[in-house]
Structure 1
Amino acid sequence: MAATDPQKRRDTQSVEKVPTILIRAMFGLALFSLVLVAWARLTDQPLSAVPDASEPVAVERQIVIAGSNSGRATVYDDEGNVIREYGPMEGGFISGIWRVLRLERGKIDAPMDAPVRLVRYESGRLSLYDDLTGWRAELIGFGADNAAAFARLLD
């Protein structure tokens, strides 16, 4: 009998409702984002979140990465000399980069043994470029430990 009491029903319904102003604000924000992205695409705005590639280079090295799905990885210089070998417990990130390169190069049937450029800029930023596919990675975006794994290849 208490469940049919109109006063109790009104109280429970009002507590569970989301305020109308919040719903309007949510849709307004979504609409604003859509308009902003459409404007940027239609006016060919530059991709400002991409770091400047014309920054002065401190060190650059061509490397070849060979890996496996188990986490093993071997890094060679452009002459085929082994720079560093990683076991399955220590080569996870470098092997992961190898898997990305395998995927990107597989899309265009590029050779897997072609080198990539490992670049340290004067600002300390570390980047990896695959000139065959146009793929690039800003290594600090994967964490300091993972960037350090590639930084050691330059030393």
Structure 2
Amino acid sequence: MIVREYEQDEITVHRVPLMLMGGIVAISLLLTASVTLGFVPRQSVPAEARAAAGIGEAQARTLRFFDEPDGAVRIEDGATGEFLGRHGVGEGGFIRATVRSLVHQRRIRGLGPEVAFTLTEWQNGNLTLADPATGRSIEVSSFGPDNRAVYQDLLPAKEANR
């Protein structure tokens, strides 16, 4: 009978990568603890940061969004009903995404479209799309200048703002 010895490979893990991975875990835990314990300030809430800096509202407009039968989205002034724009299928992707996220929050809470959304331009030039019905808001300016411009065009006196 022939007995075969199987060669066993030794699996080695080098110390340096293990030490580096341990260091990353330790730093992550340290940073998390420092924020939790208040040594490092938490991420700023835009509304609180504006209030602390004394930044006020420059202008605002209420907006209503309607889904049309052909798939387009129609935008109207919430107070006057003035037609502000229409985005067909494949157009206005950023507006569709932001409004749908806010409408989703309304559906979760069983709320309808009775209350118009509010688009606010602040004195520092930032834009916020807010839903007074749910208290949720989206900082439009955080999504870059092109997406900001889409909403900027919905504000009155846009020529004076540029």
- Name the SS for the 1:105 alignment partner: helix
Cα distance change of structure 1 residues 53 and 73 upon mapping to structure 2, 3 Å threshold: farther
Q: CA deviation at 1:152?
A: 0.3
Matches within 5 A, 1:46-125: 47-51=42-46, 52-54=49-51, 55-67=55-67, 72-79=72-79, 80-125=81-126
- After superposition, give the CA deviation of every residue in 1:1-20 in whole Å (9 maximum; x if it has no partner): xxxxxxxx89xx88xx6x52
Q: Aligned residue for 1:3?
A: none
Q: CA deviation at 1:96?
A: 1.4
Quote the Cα distance in structure 2 between the aligned partners of 1:60 and 1:35: 42
Quote the Cα distance in structure 1 between the aligned partners of 2:77 and 2:128: 17
Q: Which runs of 5+ in 2 are unaligned?
A: 1-8
Give the aligned CA root-mean-square deviation in angstroms.
3.0
Q: Aligned residue for 2:149?
A: 148
* 8 Å contact kept, 2:105–2:134: yes
* 8 Å contact kept, 1:71–1:96: no
Cα distance change of structure 1 residues 46 and 130 upon mapping to structure 2, 3 Å threshold: farther
* 8 Å contact kept, 1:66–1:113: no
Q: Aligned residue for 1:29?
A: 24
- After superposition, give the CA deviation of every residue in 1:59-105 in whole Å (9 maximum; x if it has no partner): 1111122347x862211112333221122232221111221122111
Cα distance change of structure 1 residues 74 and 30 upon mapping to structure 2, 3 Å threshold: farther
Q: CA deviation at 1:42?
A: 5.5
Quote the Cα distance in structure 2 between the aligned partners of 1:142 and 1:75: 20
Quote the Cα distance in structure 1 between the aligned partners of 2:112 and 2:132: 12
Q: Figure out how many residues of one structure are paired with residues of the other and give that number.
A: 144
Counterpart of 1:48 in structure 2: which amino acid?
Q
- Name the SS for the 1:61 alignment partner: strand
Q: Which runs of 5+ in 1 are unaligned?
A: 1-8
Structure (1 or 2) with the greater helix fraction: 1
- After superposition, give the CA deviation of every residue in 1:106-142 in whole Å (9 maximum; x if it has no partner): 1111112421111111111111111222221111222
* 8 Å contact kept, 2:63–2:116: yes
Quote the Cα distance in structure 2 between the aligned partners of 1:71 and 1:39: 49
Give the TM-score taking structure 2 as reference length: 0.70
